[in-house]
Amino acid sequence: MRFFFHIADKYGLSADGIGCDYAEQDAAVLHARRLAAELAKSGEFFRGSVVLVARATMPARCCVSENDAARSLGRP
């Protein structure tokens, strides 16, 4: 499963557009804890940050390209 690790702080949300593959949710949560610990070590600026874990709702192989979507709608 693919998980995304977004970082939220007082300035907003930094979205993870790449993500990482993990076999189970517990492994993804462990990765998020490591990220949060590293952010805390980075200084005062990152100490108020929160790491949000989001699971991909659709497997990557099911994603459709723009061209495939256009063809399915009958567009050249």
Provide the pLDDT for residue 59.
Answer: 59
Show the tokens assigned to 27: 């492994």
For the chain (length 76 residues), average pLDDT per consecutive 10? 92 92 95 91 76 82 46 46
Q: What was the pLDDT predicted at 27?
A: 96
Residue partners of 8: CB distance under 8 A and separation at least 6: 14, 49, 50, 52
Residue 75: predicted pLDDT? 43
pTM of the predicted protein model: 0.68
Q: Using H for helix, E for strand and C for coil, what is the string for 8-75?
A: EECCEEECCCCCEECCCHHHHHHHHHHHHHHHHHCCHHHCCCEEEEEECCCCHHHCCCHHHHHHHCCC
